[in-house]
Amino acid sequence: MNRSQWDSFWLGVVLGLLLPALFCVAYWHTVGLQHLWQEGMYEMLKPVIGRMLLLSTFANMAVMFLLYELNVWRLAKGVLVAILPYMAAAIILL
């Protein structure tokens, strides 16, 4: 398989947006926080959601550094750009 075939900026953006979302869903169900989502609980869950988003960006950065080591530059740049909305949301919620 040719690496240049997968070296696409937009594929990196899609990968970078999906991986943290999947990580957040897995964390949410693993820790068991889904029963806390009720009326009025949003203010209590705001810091938890912020930390969860921040944790998911660290997992995304690990993927980005792995892609840099594999010399798949455009794919890694796409993943890096996709980290930015998650970081902004985490900072706002913390």
Q: Kindly report the pTM of this predicted structure.
A: 0.76
Cα separation of 49 and 68, whole Å? 29
Residue partners of 91: CB distance under 8 A and separation at least 6 = 50
User: pLDDT tens digits, residue range 46-76?
Assistant: 777 788 888 888 888 888 899 889 888 899 9
**Could you write out the DSSP letters of every residue in 22-66?**
HHHHHHHHHHT-GGG-STT-HHHHHHHHHHHHHHHHHHHHHHHHH
Residue partners of 87: CB distance under 8 A and separation at least 6 = 53, 54, 57
Domain count, the chain: 1
Return the percentage of the chain with pLDDT > 70, whole number.
83
- Domain span holding position 79: 3-93
| pLDDT score of 8 more than 80 | yes
Structure tokens at 44: 């209590």
